[in-house]
Amino acid sequence: MLFSSVGFLFRFLPVFMLIYLLVPAKYRNFVLLVGSLIFYGVGEPYFVLLLIFSMLINYGLSRYMFWEPRSPQQNRAEKRARRKKVALVSSLVIDFGLLFVFKYWDFAAENINSLAGHKLLPVLLLTLPLGISFYTFQMVSYQVDCYRGTQKEPADLISFASYVSMFPQLIAGPIVRYDEVADRMRSRKIRIRNIENGLKLFTVGLGLKVLLANQIGTLWNTIMTAGAGNLHASVAWLGAIAYSFQIYFDFWGYSVMAMGLGKMLGFRIPRNFDNPYTSRSISEFWRRWHITLGRWFREYVYFPLGGSRKGRLRTIGNLFVVWTFTGLWHGADWNFLLWGLTFFLLLTIEKNTYGRKLESTRVIGHLYTLLLIPITWVIFAITDIRQLVLYLGNMFGVHTSTVMVGGQQLMRYLQEYWVLLIACILFATPFPGKLYHKYRDRWFAVILCLVIFWFSVHEIMVGANNPFLYFRF
């Protein structure tokens, strides 16, 4: 179920919230768990079983880490450490194993097959369970926290399961750490103010997704439809910018909706985006873009590998590992790997040369980021490497065939999308956020939110009646 669907907005959410508020506080975690499983199960009736299975296995293993035999033993600490290690390793094998099978098997098998020249490994053609990348990472973070001892005592099953499957962040993040919700899992106050503000936040997220991301997405789609290779540089850049906006507002909108829903339920879901397009360097961009994912890789991959404390060469090696995996986490294809490695390259260069200077400049840093980011998004967007090369070529005026999409089309696109483009630029700056926090309690903010909400619903309905609206033919 998507947040931006009638099923969620007018069926699931109101019913769930009513039940959630009416039941006594001690049953709320349970209601949240059941609600989340229903939320997931409606869209993924079979994979919900996989989710439950994963949660149970992980919970069992995490309990095993804390388990102590009653009888007195020698080498207590040593044995405990060994148990912990066994539990951690087996949970990592299971979690990443499942992720690998569902997400990466086919990619790996196809490439190995083509290398071997014959069919060595079967291609399974499995569909990807929704949100598996997100919930796997959450479970792994819990296991590692238990292993490290930052998680001092085991959570109870219901709390753990509702932490993993909590519907606001189940399918598109943010990747929450258990300690961020642990207190609230134990007891949380549900205040009418929080429900009110959470709902407002949710509405804002919905608007970002439906009114900005979905709309600007059609521009990117239109340009790609004409075909990479035929584009004038200006059109190619316009497409790249449109896609940059689309992916940002889509993902940011989802994260804001998750924060809003979390607030309504009495949780604090961490912020995932902090105006990334106003960064002055690529490193700053990644401190502001998908913050919880960056944090996960930093805490559970980069630091354990030694981070930047073991010499320059080792640091570069660690960055390489982190960015290879960050790239592949986003998708199992060569372009995602390339995308990750592009960031590895940019960040390595920045870290070792001009990074500091860049961040202290005003204009140059912004320009630098704004020029590079659309290029990285193009690498992210186009999975077909041949098309990708053509598109990137077009962006820099390299054409192998005649330019078919030029000034005339550019003018038409601008005529059609200029309002939306200006809106997107505005919402990529911090000002709307500031205004929101300043005026969110005023009556006109309430009316504005109401307008956004119903306008979004209207757009969703139009889209539902005409499933091809966003690809209008």
Let me know: does 328 contact 356? Beta carbons within 8 Å.
no
Q: What part of residues 97-126 is at the interface with other proteins (CB under 8 A)?
A: none
444 binds other proteins (CB under 8 A): no
264, 199 Cβ separation under 8 angstroms: yes
N- to C-terminal Cα separation, the chain: 26
**CA–CA gap between residue 38 and residue 20 (Å, rounded):** 14
Which part of the chain contacts other proteins (CB under 8 A), choosing from 18-26, 57-65, 132-140, 205-213? 18-26
The residue with tokens 């959630």 is: 20
Question: Is residue 191 at the binding interface for other proteins, with CB under 8 A as the rule?
Answer: yes
Question: Which are the contacts of 365, defined by CB distance < 8 A and separation ≥ 6?
Answer: 279, 280, 281, 358, 359
Give me the residue label for tokens 């390595």: 348
> CB within 8 A of 467, min separation 6: which ones?
none
Residue type, 326: T
Nearer to other proteins, 346 or 449 (CB): 449
Total residues at interface with other proteins (CB under 8 A): 52
What is the enclosing helix (H) or strand (E) of 254?
A: helix 233-265
Choosing from 156, 196, 274, 299, the residue that interacts with other proteins (CB under 8 A) is: 196
Our separate counts of H helices and E strands in the chain read: 23, 0
Q: Does 225 bind other proteins (CB under 8 A)?
A: yes
Pick the closer one to other proteins by CB: 124 or 190. Answer: 190
User: Are 273 and 252 a contacting pair, CB within 8 Å?
Assistant: yes
Specify the residue, 21 or 233, whose C-beta has the smaller distance to other proteins: 21
Name the minimum Å distance from CB 3 to other proteins. 15
Q: Tell me the two tokens of residue 200.
A: 């407002």
* Residue from 19, 109, 375, 446 in contact with other proteins (CB under 8 A): 446
Part in contact with other proteins (CB under 8 A); list of ranges 64-72, 145-153, 354-362, 407-415: 407-415
Nearest to 436 by CA among 205, 173, 194, 195: 205
Q: Which of 303, 396, 418, 471 binds other proteins (CB under 8 A)?
A: 471
Distance CA 184, CA 41 (A): 25
Q: Which 370-399 positions form the footprint of other proteins (CB under 8 A)?
A: 387
Is there binding between residue 401 and other proteins (CB under 8 A)? Answer: yes
Candidates 118, 232, 290, 330; catalytic one: 330
Segment interacting with other proteins (CB under 8 A) among 17-25, 107-115, 155-163, 422-430: 17-25
The reply to whether 472 sits near other proteins by the rule CB under 8 A is yes
Bridge partners of 231, per DSSP, are: 405
In degrees rounded to 5, what are phi and psi of residue 405?
-110, 100
Residues 256-285 touching other proteins, rule: CB under 8 A, are none
Indicate left, alpha or beta for 398 from its phi (over 0: left) and psi (-120 to 50: alpha).
beta
Shortest distance in whole angstroms from residue 452 CB to other proteins: 11
Among candidate residues 398, 187, 176, the one with its CA nearest the CA of residue 295: 176
- Is 321 one of the binding residues for other proteins (CB under 8 A)? no
Catalytic: 232? no
Provide the minimum distance between the beta carbon of 5 and other proteins in the complex, in angstroms, as a whole number.
Answer: 11
Q: List interacting residues with other proteins (CB under 8 A).
A: 6, 10-11, 14, 21-22, 25, 189-193, 195-196, 199-200, 203, 221-222, 224-230, 387, 401-402, 404-405, 408-409, 412, 415, 443, 446, 449-450, 453-454, 457, 461, 464-469, 471-473
Q: Which residues are known catalytic residues?
A: 330
